[in-house]
Structure 1
């Protein structure tokens, strides 16, 4: 579990009592790439898969670790 990571999204599959995150790792992306499928592998980085981005404020980011509880 990520140490010291708290979350207030109670309907996330990884949400634990006390607002603790129970995910093994956290994946964060800027909103601009929120819908990108980064799980597929392609040869090289000509498609921008190994990109680096900057967010000017936290509101421009999203947590891709979120998974709704069933």
Structure 2
């Protein structure tokens, strides 16, 4: 399988790395509505249990894997840095 490269410009995220790279081993991209409705523990590790959340534009999506870089709860979602 080809390795994917996820690019992210949110430099205050725990998973952000030099060159605008996301170094999370998993991410969950969802609709803004799902992101707003679900607690932080609902993330990539639980994605297989979620219903699809179709949207009409990229402006209606969010990366649910965000964790603030200075957060003491960097393991709240079970995702790890690569």
Q: 2:10 — aligned with what? A: 9
- How many pairs were matched up? 60
Greater helix share, 1 or 2? 2
Report the TM-score when normalising by structure 1: 0.73
Matches within 5 A, 1:1-70: 3-35=4-36, 36-37=38-39, 39=42, 50-70=50-70
| Deviations 1:15-61 (CA, angstroms, capped at 9, x unpaired) | 0011111100111110111131374xxxxxxxxx6422211111101
Unaligned runs of 5+ in 2: 43-48, 71-82
Runs in 1 of length 4+ with deviation above 4 angstroms? Answer: none
What is the DSSP-based 3-state SS (H/G/I as helix, E as strand, rest coil) of the residue aligned with 1:29?
strand
Unaligned runs of 5+ in 1: 40-48
Report the TM-score when normalising by structure 2: 0.64
